[in-house]
Amino acid sequence: MFAVQSIAMCTVLVASVVAAPPESRRDQITKLVVAIQRADYEGDRPALKRLYNELAPFADDKELGARMRYWRGFALWRRALNGSNEKVDATELEQDLKQAVSEFEAAITKDPAFVDARASAGATLGRLMFLYVRNPTIAGEFNDPARMRESVNRAISYMNEAAATEPENPRVLWVLGPVRSYLSLQRGEGPNKAIDAAIESYQKGLKAARARKSAVRDPLIPSWGEPECLMSLAGSNFYRTTPDVAAAEQYARSALALVPYWHYVKDILLPQIAAAKIRNEIIAIERAALDRWGKGDPQGYLEIMAPDVTYFDPTREKRIDGLAAVKEYILPSTGKIRIDSYEMINPQVQRDGDVAILTFNLIDTVKRPDREEKVTVRWNSTEVYRRIEGNWKIVHSHWSYTKPELK
C-alpha cells in the first residue's frame, strides 16, 4: 500500500518537473544583468568579472546583442572604477577599461542609436586616458600628446553625441559631469568653477532621473543614474577647496537610502565625510577658545578642558597637572590679554576613535598702545582632545615658541 503511494507520488513529481517550462533565454540574461548592477554597488570585483564571462554566450544574440555588449562593457567599466578605490594595479585597470571600451563600441556597431552605449564608451575611454596620465609607464603611444588628445576628443565626441540625442538622459548627464569640469579647467576658470560645472550637470541628471522614476522599464534597458548623481554631488561638495561637508553628507545619505548596500558610499565616502565633520568640529572649538583668549577671556579654554588635563607652555619649568591647577595659572590673565588678530596655520586633526590630536601653528599679532608697529608672536601648538560624554575636551595642551632664539 505504502509502496504504491510512493510510486504514485514520484510519478507526479517527475511529471511536474518534465512539465515545468525551461527558464527562458531572456530570463537568464535578466538575472545576470541584475546581478551585475548589484555586484557593482557592492564593490564585488570578482563577481563582475565572472558575470562578464557568463554573458558571453549571449553577446551576439540577434535581438539582444547590443544590450548584452553594453552590460558586458558596464561590468568591466565598473570593475575598474571599484578597483580605483582599492588601489588595484594600474595594468589590471587598463585591461578592464580597454575591454570595456571595445564592448561599448561593439554595442554601438550593433545599434548606432544606442545612446547609453555612446555615453558609456566616452566615459570609459576618458577614464582610460586619465589612467594613462597618472601612470605614464603603461601609457605607451599615449605618452604622445597628439595621440592622447585624439583619444580625449574621441571620448568627448561620444558623450556629446549622446547628449545631442538625449539631453535629458540622466546617465548621459552623469558622465558629462567630469567633462564639464575638465573643460572648465581648460578655460582657466579654476578648481571651484570646475566643480560647479560638474555639479550643475549632476543636478540636471538627478532631476531627470527622478522625472523618469515612475516609468515602467525593461530591466535590460539601462535605467541607473539617480544614485550615481547623488553620490557624485556628495563627492563634488566634499572635495571642494572649501568643502561643504553638510551638503556632502546629505547627498551621500540620500544615495545610500536608494542603495543600502553601496560599498563605496557606505564604507569609503561616508566615513571620510564623518572624519571631516569631526575635524571641522575640533578646529571650530579651538578657534572659539582662541577668539575669547584674544579678548582677555581665558574661560574659553578652561571650559573645554577635561578635569585631568595636563599643560605645558614655554614660561613654565614643568608640566601643570589637572584643571584646578591650570585655572590657578591662567585665570589671573583675565582682562590683561589683547590680541588684535591671529592666524591658525595648517591645522591638522589625527583621530583614532574617541581621541584626536590637533596640531597647528599660530601667529598672534598685537598692536601696543605706546608704539605704531605691531608685535608678532609665533607658536607651535599641540592639543590632544578626548570625546567625553559626547563632547570633545582637551586632555593635554602643549604650547611652544616657533624657532626661539636659544641661549
Q: What structural domains and CATH numbers belong to the chain?
A: 25-278 (1.25.40.10), 279-401 (3.10.450.50)
Distance CA 211, CA 205 (A): 10
Hey, which residues does 355 pair with through a beta bridge? 352, 386
C-alpha cell belonging to residue 333: 590673565
173, 233 contact by CB (below 8 A):
no
DSSP sequence for 367-395 = E-TT-SSEEEEEEEEEEEEEEETTEEEEE
With a CB cutoff of 8 Å and minimum separation 6, the contacts of 87 are: none
User: 357: part of which helix (H) or strand (E)?
Assistant: strand 355-367
pLDDT number for residue 13? 39
Q: Residues 172, 162: contact at Cβ < 8 Å?
A: yes
Measure the CA–CA gap between 50 and 53, rounded to whole angstroms. 5
Distance CA 381, CA 378 (A): 10
SS3 175: helix
Per-residue pLDDT tens digits for 50-64? 999 999 999 988 899
341, three cell numbers: 588678530
In which band, very low, low, confident or very high, does the pLDDT at 9 lie, cut at 50, 70 and 90? Answer: very low
CB 237 within 8 A of CB 251: yes
Mean pLDDT in the chain? Answer: 92
* C-alpha 278, offset from chain centre: 17
pLDDT tens sequence across 297-355: 999 999 999 999 999 999 999 999 999 999 999 999 999 989 999 999 999 999 999 99
- The DSSP element (H or E) to which 5 belongs, if any, is helix 2-19
d(CA 191, CA 9): 73
